[in-house]
Amino acid sequence: MSLALYRKYRPATFAELKGQEHVAEPLQQALRNGRINHAYLFSGPRGCGKTSSARILARSLNCENGPTPDPCGKCDSCVALGPTGTGHIDVIEIDAASHGGVDDARDLRERAFFAPVSARFKVYIIDEAHMVTREGFNALLKLVEEPPPHLKFVFATTEPEKVIGTIRSRTHHYPFRLIPPGTLTELVEEILESENVPYEASALPLAVRAGAGSARDTLSILDQLLAGSDESGITYARAVSLLGYTDSTLLDEVIGAFAARDGAAVFAAIDRVIESGQDPRRFAADLLERLRDLVILSNVPEAAGSGLLNAPPDELDQMRKQASSLGPGELTRAADLLHTGLTEMRGATSPRLLLELIAARILLPAAYEDEASMFARLDRLERQASQGGFGEGGPSRAFAGSASEQPPPAQGGDPTSSVNRTGPPLPTEHRSVDNSRPVPGAHPSAPQAPDDRPSAPHGQRSADQAQAQAPQQAPQQAPQAARPAPTPAPRPRRARPRPAAGRTSARSSGTGPTSSRP
């Protein structure tokens, strides 16, 4: 029988406590100064060293050379409270999940006043302290507030807010934190070297990620990988299959398909995920993790050296290419859609259908008019322009169409407008308008000058007269195009000839001779 790794490599001193220097150093300094409180509250996530720190504190208090921040590790108390020790009679660990009632608190209060058997202090370590009932805490309140000189309390909990305020106010509170991935990676490498087990560097981030910042969970997963390894040690393929993560090659294939807008490749990859028996939620979570890395890499190119990313060097080169092919706009939109989809997939009856719908939304940013979709489309256009142009269609293919597809001019429009006129523009002097001249179609009450010229028969205008009218009718019709269209007048039956070019245009208001009446 082999001892579990989290028990075999349990820290025995504050110096061996990984990732909790903000707690270890103040406690060591308090031991040096001799300012030891009668009650402590250790809070934080599971597996981050709360109970181990409580044992180290009891070991430092009861060492023969103590109280000392560095226990000797040779005396009876240090050996009994060590990682492989059997425990000490004066250090009592109580699981509050099963001993949190008022009767248990009364029993503890009766036994606490007895002096320690062989140690300097009697230490009570109450694990899962948030499980103690309110009545139990009230029964312990007087003892915690004014304990005898030989009595010390250490409360360890993952939910400090459930510990009543009267108990919290009488303790020194030390909050523990999750251990950073880099620190956990160094710890795993040290353990594998001490165990003489070969390993692949790409497999360690999987174990660290599965541990989620907990040293105990990470060592439990490492123990599982060691138990299933052969003479080749811990390999990436075995770690992927045991931990249920998605292979990085499949993630690379999906990201490449998103960049190329290849829907067939995306849905084929989803089909392989389902056919291989993998959980769609796990695949979506792994893809979201990859998109998170790409978003950081697109904004911080030196993220690998600064510790923001924890990936092998060969995988980093591939991720840089993926980040440049997608861009920050599309990456951010895809990550938002995946995050929302993961929330919707909780308790869904058809996770595969939701996963395929998420992939369809990522592939079609033009189908949505929100800000993220518009930014993703603009980002793609900018990257295409910076990489050498848009090809045959130009940028108009992404929007409404090119300028050559304008609608034809309306029939019967203004012959002088810029749309209908096929020849060169008129000179400036021909386009000017003389407001002093009467405009055809004016109000009928305006006086008109009599014209004594005889009317010419219909259809007998000469070619010279038609040429003389052409340059003068254009400047009079030009300002009418900009004004609202007046009520159409009756269609004239005959037109009056104009012998000279400096006169006003002929009136076309009747069939007989022009009357001098207004």
pLDDT higher than threshold 90 for residue 308: no
Peptide bond between residue 427 and the one before it cis (omega within 30 degrees of 0):
no
Q: CA of 478: how far to CAs of 166, 399, 468, 471, 483, in Å?
A: 91, 34, 17, 12, 10
Q: What is the mean pLDDT of residues 193-200?
A: 89
For residue 374, name the pLDDT band (cuts at 50, 70, 90).
low
Give yes or no for a contact between 188 and 19, defined as CB atoms under 8 angstroms apart: no
Looking at mean pLDDT, say which of 267-271, 476-480, 489-493, 500-504 comes out highest: 267-271
Q: What is the mean pLDDT of residues 103-111?
A: 89
Q: CA of 220: how far to CAs of 6, 216, 324, 450, in Å?
A: 7, 6, 38, 113
Q: What is the mean pLDDT of residues 59-71?
A: 88
Q: Which CATH architecture has domain 181-243?
A: Orthogonal Bundle (1.10)
Q: Which pLDDT score is estimated for 54?
A: 93
pLDDT in tens, 217-238: 999 999 999 888 888 888 888 8
Give yes or no for a contact between 257 and 359, defined as CB atoms under 8 angstroms apart: no
Contacts of 254 (CB under 8 A, 6+ apart): 265, 266, 269, 287
pLDDT higher than threshold 80 for residue 73: yes
Q: Which pLDDT score is estimated for 27?
A: 93
pLDDT higher than threshold 80 for residue 510: no
pLDDT higher than threshold 90 for residue 326: no
Q: Which pLDDT score is estimated for 116?
A: 87
Q: Residue 212 class from Cβ within 10 Å (0-12 exposed, 13-18 middle, 19+ buried)?
A: middle
Q: What is the mean pLDDT of residues 57-63?
A: 91
Q: What is the mean pLDDT of residues 136-149?
A: 90
- Among 2.60.40.180, 2.30.30.140, 1.20.272.10, 3.40.50.300, name the CATH number for the domain at 248-386: 1.20.272.10
Q: Residue 410 class from Cβ within 10 Å (0-12 exposed, 13-18 middle, 19+ buried)?
A: exposed
Q: How many degrees, rounded to 5, is the angle at CA 404 between CA 399 and CA 409?
A: 115
Give yes or no for a contact between 37 and 174, defined as CB atoms under 8 angstroms apart: no
Tell me which amino acid residue 489 is.
A
Q: Can you read off the two tokens belonging to residue 259?
A: 């960049």
Task: Tell me which residue has tokens 């000797």.
Answer: 72
Looking at mean pLDDT, say which of 37-41, 76-80, 100-104, 465-469 comes out highest: 37-41
Neighbour-count burial for 143-152, b at 16+ CB within 10 Å, e otherwise? bbeebeebbb
Q: Which pLDDT score is estimated for 458?
A: 45
pLDDT in tens, 419-446: 444 444 444 444 444 444 444 444 444 4
Q: Which pLDDT score is estimated for 236?
A: 87
Helix (H) or strand (E) holding 480: helix 463-482
Percent of the chain whose pLDDT exceeds 90: 24
For residue 491, name the pLDDT band (cuts at 50, 70, 90).
low
Q: What is the mean pLDDT of residues 472-485?
A: 45
Q: Which of 50, 56, 95 is nearest to 77 (CA)?
A: 56
Question: DSSP characters for 211-267?
Answer: HTT-HHHHHHHHHHHHHT-BTTBB-HHHHHHHHTPPPHHHHHHHHHHHHHT-HHHHH
> d(Cα 327, Cα 205) in Å, to the nearest integer?
26
pLDDT higher than threshold 60 for residue 256: yes
The SS3 call for residue 162 is helix
pLDDT in tens, 377-413: 676 666 667 666 555 444 444 443 333 344 444 444 4
Alpha helices in 34-95 (DSSP H): 50-62, 76-80
Q: Which pLDDT score is estimated for 344?
A: 87
Among the listed ranges 38-52, 140-154, 321-335, 433-447, which one has the minimum average pLDDT value?
Answer: 433-447
What does the domain layout of the chain look like in residue ranges?
5-175, 181-243, 248-386
Task: Tell me which residue has tokens 């020849």.
Answer: 423
pLDDT higher than threshold 60 for residue 53: yes
Strand partners, 152: 123
pLDDT in tens, 336-348: 999 988 888 887 8
Is the pLDDT higher at 296 or at 409? 296
pLDDT higher than threshold 70 for residue 515: no
pLDDT higher than threshold 70 for residue 447: no
Question: DSSP characters for 282-331?
Answer: HHHHHHHHHHHHHHHHHH-TTHHHHTS----HHHHHHHHHHHHHH-HHHH
Q: Can you read off the two tokens belonging to residue 228?
A: 């299933």
Give yes or no for a contact between 106 and 139, defined as CB atoms under 8 angstroms apart: yes
Give yes or no for a contact between 390 and 397, defined as CB atoms under 8 angstroms apart: yes
Strand partners, 230: 233
DSSP conformation class of 131: G
Q: Is the dihedral of CA 33, 39, 45, 49 positive or negative?
A: positive
Average pLDDT for the chain: 76
pLDDT higher than threshold 50 for residue 453: no
Q: Tell me which CATH code domain 5-175 carries.
A: 3.40.50.300
Count Cα atoms within 13 angstroms, Cβ side, for 465: 12
Count Cα atoms within 13 angstroms, Cβ side, for 476: 18
pLDDT higher than threshold 90 for residue 175: yes
Q: Residue 426 class from Cβ within 10 Å (0-12 exposed, 13-18 middle, 19+ buried)?
A: middle
pLDDT in tens, 14-44: 988 988 999 999 999 999 998 999 999 999 9
Q: For residues 326, 330, 331 and 333, what is the CA-based torsion angle, rounded to 10 degrees?
A: -170
Neighbour-count burial for 18-33, b at 16+ CB within 10 Å, e otherwise? bbbeebbeebbebbee
Neighbour-count burial for 256-273, b at 16+ CB within 10 Å, e otherwise? bbbbeeeeeebbebbeeb
Read off the pTM.
0.64
Is the pLDDT higher at 214 or at 471? 214
